[in-house]
Chains A and B, each alone.
Chain A
Amino acid sequence: MSQKTKIIEKEEVVIRFSGDSGDGMQLTGTQFSDTSALFGNDVATFPDYPAEIRAPQGTVGGVSGFQLHFGHQEINTPGDFADVLVAMNPAALKANLKWVKPSGTIIVNEDSFTDKNLEKAGYDSDPLLDDKLADYNLIKAKVTSLTRECLKDSTLDQKSILRCKNMFTLGMVYWMFDRPFEHTEAFIDKKFKKYPEVVDANKKVLRAGYNFARTIEALAYNFSVAPAKIRKGTYRNITGNKATAWGLMAAAERANLELFCGSYPITPATEILQELAARKDLGVKTFQAEDEIAGICTAIGASFAGDFAVTTTSGPGLALKTEAAGLAVMTELPLVIVNVQRGGPSTGLPTKTEQSDLLQAIHGRSGECPMPVIAASTPSDCFHYAFEAGRIALEHMTPVILLTDGFIANGAEPWRIPKMSDLPEIVAPIAQEGDEYLPYAREEKRLSRKWAIPGTKGLEHRIGGLEKMDRDGTVSYVPENHQVMSDIRKKRVELVANNIPELEVKGNEEADVLVVGWGGTYGHLITAVRELQKENKSISLAHFNYIFPLPKNTADVFSRYKKIIVCELNDGQFAEYLRSSFQNIKFEQHNKLMGLPFTVLELKERFNQLLEEK
C-alpha cells in the first residue's frame, strides 16, 4: 500500500484543461465535472474553444480549453483563475498561463515541448527549462510516451493510442482530487461499446495516469473537496442549451400542444435543435430549414396551424429572421425565438460569448414592432426562462425573444430536477367551434386575440402582414385604424408586466451601490457582490431576466440606491435602454467586449472604486 499523502480540505477548486482542439480537452473536462457533480459538489463549467474544428495544430489560436469550478458551497461561476492548469502543449501553456493562480499547479505534457512546438507557440526558449515557472508547482509528465508505454501490448494503431493521452491527465487529476473512476469507466464502456480494444486502452491509461500521480506524489498533499450543502432533491448536470430545449418541451407539455422547431444550424445555438431533433419520442417535430428565414417562417406556419412553435438562432440569424418576426407581431401568433448570443457584429466570434444583441432584440425590426424580450442567466435556469418564454407567447398570443449566450449555453451546472406537475399549466386562448369569431377581437385583460386553428369548423378567417381592421381583421388602410392597432400592439406588450414576477434584490433594500445586470453575467455579478457584502460593503445586486417589459417595481428599486452601475458584456445597451426608460436616474457602466465573461476580480475592483468615490 502506498502512503496516502496529507489531505487538505478545500472550499473550492478551479481546474483548466487545455490542449489542441483535437486533444479531447472538452471531453476530459466534462468527465471531471460530471464525476464531481455525482460526488455531490456544486459545479460550474466554461468550455472555451476555437471556431475551427481542427484549428492549426500547436498554435495559440488552436487551443481548446475547458474550465471547471467545483466546491462544497454554492458555485456561481467557472472561476476567474485556475488552481490547476493542464497544458497538453506549449501553445496551451502560453495561452493559459495568465489564468493560473499564483503558486498554482501546472501539469504539462513534457513530450510536447519540442523545438518545433515551442516555435509554433511563439516561445523563444523552453519555459520548462528557465525560471519563468518557478513560482508555480510545475509537474512535468511525459504523457505521450507514458501513454505509449502503457499501451505497448495493444493492437491499436499509433493514432488511436495517442488519442488516449487525455485519459492519462484525467487520471492524474482524479488522484489529486480523490475522485472515483466509476462514472468515467461507465462512460467509456458506453461510448466505445463497439470497440472493446478502445475501451480497454482508455481505462488502462486512465488508471496509469492515476497511479503515476500517486507515485510521483504530484502534490505534496492531495485535495479533498467535500460535497456541497445544497437543497434536498434529485439533481443532474445540464448545459444551457439542453435546458433551453427541455424548457421549450416542458412548455409544450404544460400547454397540451405539439412542439414544432424550425431552425437552421448556427453556433452556439445548434445543440438546441439537435436536442429537440433527438426527442421525437416525445412528439417533437423539428424542421432543419434551408436558411434562417425558412426556420422562423416554418415556425410561423406551424403556429398558424396550432402548434407551439419555436425557432433557435444566434445574432446574425436573428438579423435574418427580422422581417418574419414582424409578421408574427402583426398576425399576433405565439412564437418563441431563442437567440444564443455570440460575439458580433457579422460572423464575429462565433464560439465566444457576448450580450450585444439586446437592442436588436428589443428594437431591431421594421415599423413599430414591440415584442417581449426575456433573458436566462445560468445554464440551468435556461429551462425556467424557456418555459416562461413559451408561457408568455401562448398566453399573450405574441412572439417572444429569449436571450441566452454562448457562456451559459455551453456551460453546465448541477440542476435540481423539477416535477412537471409543479410547473404552471399554460392556457392559450384557443377559439372553439361555435364561438363567435372575429380574428382581431380581444379579451380585456391581455388584449390578446383568439387563436382559431385551421381545421376548426366555422372559424375560417384570413390573416397576413397587411394592417388589419380592429376586431374584424379585414385589410385596412384607414389612418385612424393604424393608430389604434399600433397603440394596441404597444399596450399588449406592456400588459405582459402584469404576468411576470417583480424584480428581486440580492442584498439590502437600500445601499450605497446597486449593481445591475441581466442575462448570463449573473454568476460573476452575484459572486462579486456577495464577496463584497461579506466585507460589509454597502452593495446589492438587481439582476434582470425580464427585459421588455421591465418588472413593474423597477423604478421603485432604483430609487433606493445612491449609485447604480450597469454591468454587461457589450458597450452599454441595457444602460442605454434604462436611461431611455428612467430619464432622471444616473447609470454608471461597466462593459467588456473581449468575447469572455467578466472576472469576479475585475468586478470587485470596479465596485470598490465606485464605493470609494465620493
Chain B
Amino acid sequence: MADTLLNTSNIKKLSAKDFRSDQENRWCPGCGDHGILNSVQKAMAEMDYKKEDYAVISGIGCSSRFPYYMNTYGFHTIHGRAAAIASGVKCANPNLEVIQVSGDGDALAIGGNHFIHAVRRNIDMTILLFNNEIYGLTKGQYSPTSKQGMVTKTSPFGTIEEPFKPAQLALGAQSKFYARSIDTSIKLTSELVKAASAHKGTSIVEILQNCVIYNDGTHSMVTDKATKGDYQLILEHGKPMIFGIEKNKGLVLGANGKLIVVTIGENGITEADILVHDAHTENPHMHWLLSSMMAPEYPVALGVIRDVDSTSYDEKMVQQIKAVRAESSFKCMDDLLNSGDTWVVD
C-alpha cells in the first residue's frame, strides 16, 4: 500500500507479531507480565524504528525474562546491572533504541545505584519498571517497594522497612520523564511506552504489576473494575485532574501544600477550580505530589506524570567527541605516539 511504502525505514509495516520470539513463555498463567509483553510489542510495531535497531536489556527476576520473548536484539544480564549494561549499549551505538526491563528488586534494591545514576546521567533509554512489590523468582520475599508490615517468607512478622516510592527516587535523581501504568491496561501501557521512547533522555515507565502467586491483588484497588474508577487518575498534559466513576472528583492544592481530593459541585467547587496537569514544567514539586499519591486517601496517578525536555548523555557525548576532534591535530595513533618530547637515536 502506498502509505506504508512512504515509510522508508519499514518497507513492510511491522505488527506486534513480528516482535514475538519462538521461545516458550515461562511466566505463570495469570501473571501481569503477559499483558505488559503484549503492550510493548504493540508499541514497538507502531514506532518508526527498524526491528534490528531495538536492544532490549534486562537484569534478573521474573520480568527480566522479557528479552527472550522478544524477537529483537536482547540481553538478559545479571541481577541489578541492567541499567549499567544498557548505558554501555547506548554509548556504543546511540542509534539503537534501548529498552531496559527490570523489576522492583532488580532496579531498586541490588541495582539501586545503577538506576539512580542512569537517571542522573540522562542516558537516552526507556526503563520499564515492573513493580509487583515482591520477589517472585525467589518465591516470595519482600522487596524495597513492599508495603510496611507485609508478611512474606523473610518477614514472617511483617516488614519493618519503609518502602521506596520509585518516582520519588527517580525525581531525586533528576528524572526528566516519569510515567505510570498498570499491567492490565494494554492501551495505556503501549501509549506510555511510545511516549517514553519519543522522549530524549532516560524515560521511566513504572508498571503496577500483579504477582498472581506471591502478592496477588497488591494493586487491586487501582485495578479492580469496581474500584478503579475512584482510584485511577489518568493524567494528560493540559487537562484538569478529574477522576472518579462519575467523573466528578478532582484535585486541588491545599493551603498546607498538600493535594486535596474534592468533589465538583460540592462546597462551591467547579471544574475551573481543579488543577490542570503540566507534565512539561521543570519544577518537580507537583510531579512529586502526584506520583506520591496512594489509595485509598488519593487516586493513583497514571499516565505521563513528568516529561521535561533535555539533552541526553549520549547526545552530549557524541557532540563532545566531535568538537574535540575538530580542534585536535591528532588524527590517528601515529600522531599521538610521535607527539610531545621524542628523540631520535641514529
Report the stretch among A159-167, A227-235, A353-361, A367-375 that lies at the interface: A227-235
A466 CA to B61 CA, complexed, in Å? 12
B52 within 8 Å of A (CB atoms): yes
B160 within 8 Å of A (CB atoms): no
B317 within 8 Å of A (CB atoms): yes
Cβ contact within 8 Å between B341 and A38: yes
Closest to A464 in B: B76
Say yes or no: A307-B75 contact (C-beta < 8 A), given A232-B346, A285-B317, A420-B333: no
- Nearest CB of chain A from residue B115's CB, rounded to whole Å: 10
A468 CA to B67 CA, complexed, in Å? 14
Cβ contact within 8 Å between A457 and B52: yes
Cβ contact within 8 Å between B92 and A280: no
Say yes or no: A465-B77 contact (C-beta < 8 A), given A282-B336, A294-B117, A420-B332: yes
Cβ contact within 8 Å between A458 and B78: no
B74 within 8 Å of A (CB atoms): yes
Query: Which A residues from 21 to 43 make CB contacts under 8 A with B?
Result: 34, 37-38, 40
Closest to A291 in B: B113
Cβ contact within 8 Å between A419 and B334: yes
Query: Which B residues from 67 to 93 make CB contacts under 8 A with A?
Result: 67-68, 70-78, 81, 84-93
Cβ contact within 8 Å between A233 and B89: no
B256 within 8 Å of A (CB atoms): no
Cβ contact within 8 Å between A40 and B93: no
B51 within 8 Å of A (CB atoms): yes
Closest to A463 in B: B75
Residues of A within 8 A of B93 (CB): 305-307, 453-455
Residues of B within 8 A of A456 (CB): 52
A224 CA to B57 CA, complexed, in Å? 64
Cβ contact within 8 Å between A327 and B78: yes
Query: Which A residues from 464 to 503 make CB contacts under 8 A with B?
Result: 464-466, 474-475
What 0/1 pattern do residues 146 to 164 of B give for CB contact below 8 A with A?
Answer: 0000000000000000000
Closest to A298 in B: B88
Residues of A within 8 A of B332 (CB): 253, 282, 420
B2 within 8 Å of A (CB atoms): no
Cβ contact within 8 Å between B88 and A297: yes
What 0/1 pattern do residues 379 to 409 of A give for CB contact below 8 A with B?
Answer: 0000000000000000000000000000000
What 0/1 pattern do residues 101 to 115 of B give for CB contact below 8 A with A?
Answer: 000000000000110
What 0/1 pattern do residues 234 to 271 of B give for CB contact below 8 A with A?
Answer: 00000000000000000000000000000000000000
Say yes or no: A40-B345 contact (C-beta < 8 A), given A250-B333, A253-B333, A279-B336: yes
Query: Which A residues from 405 to 441 make CB contacts under 8 A with B?
Result: 417-420
Cβ contact within 8 Å between A324 and B78: yes
Cβ contact within 8 Å between A305 and B55: yes
Residues of B within 8 A of A418 (CB): 337
A427 CA to B320 CA, complexed, in Å? 29
Residues of B within 8 A of A458 (CB): 52
Closest to B324 in A: A280
A323 within 8 Å of B (CB atoms): yes
Say yes or no: A287-B91 contact (C-beta < 8 A), given A230-B345, A327-B78, A465-B78: yes
B297 within 8 Å of A (CB atoms): no
Say yes or no: A281-B73 contact (C-beta < 8 A), given A237-B341, A260-B88, A462-B68: no
Residues of A within 8 A of B77 (CB): 297, 300, 327, 464-465
Cβ contact within 8 Å between B337 and A301: no
- Nearest CB of chain B from residue A95's CB, rounded to whole Å: 31
A576 within 8 Å of B (CB atoms): no
Say yes or no: A297-B324 contact (C-beta < 8 A), given A462-B76, A465-B77: no
What 0/1 pattern do residues 1 to 40 of B give for CB contact below 8 A with A?
Answer: 0000000000000000000010100000000000000000
Say yes or no: A301-B57 contact (C-beta < 8 A), given A246-B336, A253-B332, A281-B328: yes
Cβ contact within 8 Å between B89 and A454: yes
Of A280, A305, A465, which is within 8 A of B321 by CB? A280
A289 CA to B120 CA, complexed, in Å? 12
A283 CA to B320 CA, complexed, in Å? 10
Cβ contact within 8 Å between B92 and A465: no
Closest to A183 in B: B341
The listed residue with most A CB atoms (<10 A of its CB), out of B50, B72, B342, is: B342
Cβ contact within 8 Å between A236 and B341: yes
A290 CA to B337 CA, complexed, in Å? 31
Residues of B within 8 A of A237 (CB): 341
Cβ contact within 8 Å between B88 and A305: yes
Cβ contact within 8 Å between A475 and B88: no
Closest to B87 in A: A298
Cβ contact within 8 Å between A460 and B51: yes
Residues of B within 8 A of A38 (CB): 341, 343
For chain B, give the interface size range: 35 or more
Residues of B within 8 A of A230 (CB): 345
Residues of A within 8 A of B340 (CB): 236
Closest to A229 in B: B345
- Nearest CB of chain B from residue A452's CB, rounded to whole Å: 8
A81 within 8 Å of B (CB atoms): no
A199 CA to B89 CA, complexed, in Å? 47
Of A183, A232, A307, A324, which is within 8 A of B345 by CB? A232
Say yes or no: A235-B52 contact (C-beta < 8 A), given A282-B336, A294-B84, A304-B89: no
Residues of A within 8 A of B324 (CB): 280-281
Residues of A within 8 A of B330 (CB): 279, 281-282
A418 CA to B117 CA, complexed, in Å? 40
A456 CA to B342 CA, complexed, in Å? 43
B96 within 8 Å of A (CB atoms): yes
Residues of A within 8 A of B60 (CB): 465
A293 CA to B101 CA, complexed, in Å? 19
A302 CA to B98 CA, complexed, in Å? 12
Query: Which B residues from 287 to 346 make CB contacts under 8 A with A?
Result: 317, 320-321, 324-325, 327-328, 330, 332-334, 336-338, 340-346
Query: Which A residues from 234 to 262 make CB contacts under 8 A with B?
Result: 234-237, 246, 249-250, 253, 258, 260, 262
B95 within 8 Å of A (CB atoms): yes
A299 within 8 Å of B (CB atoms): yes
Cβ contact within 8 Å between B341 and A460: no
A363 within 8 Å of B (CB atoms): no
Closest to B85 in A: A301
Cβ contact within 8 Å between A258 and B92: yes
The listed residue with most B CB atoms (<10 A of its CB), out of A231, A253, A293, A466, is: A293
Residues of A within 8 A of B74 (CB): 460-464
B53 within 8 Å of A (CB atoms): yes
A183 CA to B340 CA, complexed, in Å? 11
Cβ contact within 8 Å between B342 and A236: yes
- Nearest CB of chain B from residue A229's CB, rounded to whole Å: 9
Cβ contact within 8 Å between B337 and A289: no
What 0/1 pattern do residues 300 to 324 of A give for CB contact below 8 A with B?
Answer: 1111111101000000000000011
Of B50, B81, B333, B337, which is within 8 A of A324 by CB? B81
A281 CA to B340 CA, complexed, in Å? 16
What 0/1 pattern do residues 199 to 232 of B give for CB contact below 8 A with A?
Answer: 0000000000000000000000000000000000
Residues of B within 8 A of A290 (CB): 84, 113-114, 117
A279 CA to B339 CA, complexed, in Å? 13
Say yes or no: A420-B337 contact (C-beta < 8 A), given A258-B92, A282-B330, A324-B81: yes
Further contacts, 12 of them, CB under 8 A, given A297-B88, A309-B88, A455-B96 = A37-B343, A232-B346, A236-B338, A236-B343, A258-B92, A293-B81, A304-B85, A305-B90, A309-B92, A327-B77, A417-B337, A466-B76
**Closest 9 pairs (CB-CB, A-B):** A301-B88, A464-B76, A281-B328, A298-B88, A297-B84, A305-B92, A301-B85, A302-B92, A462-B74
Q: Write the residues of chain B forming the contact surface with A, with a CB cutoff of 8 angstroms.
A: 21, 23, 50-53, 55, 57, 60, 67-68, 70-78, 81, 84-93, 95-96, 113-114, 117, 317, 320-321, 324-325, 327-328, 330, 332-334, 336-338, 340-346
A–B pairs, 8, beta carbons within 8 Å: A236-B340, A249-B336, A281-B325, A281-B328, A289-B84, A304-B55, A419-B334, A420-B332
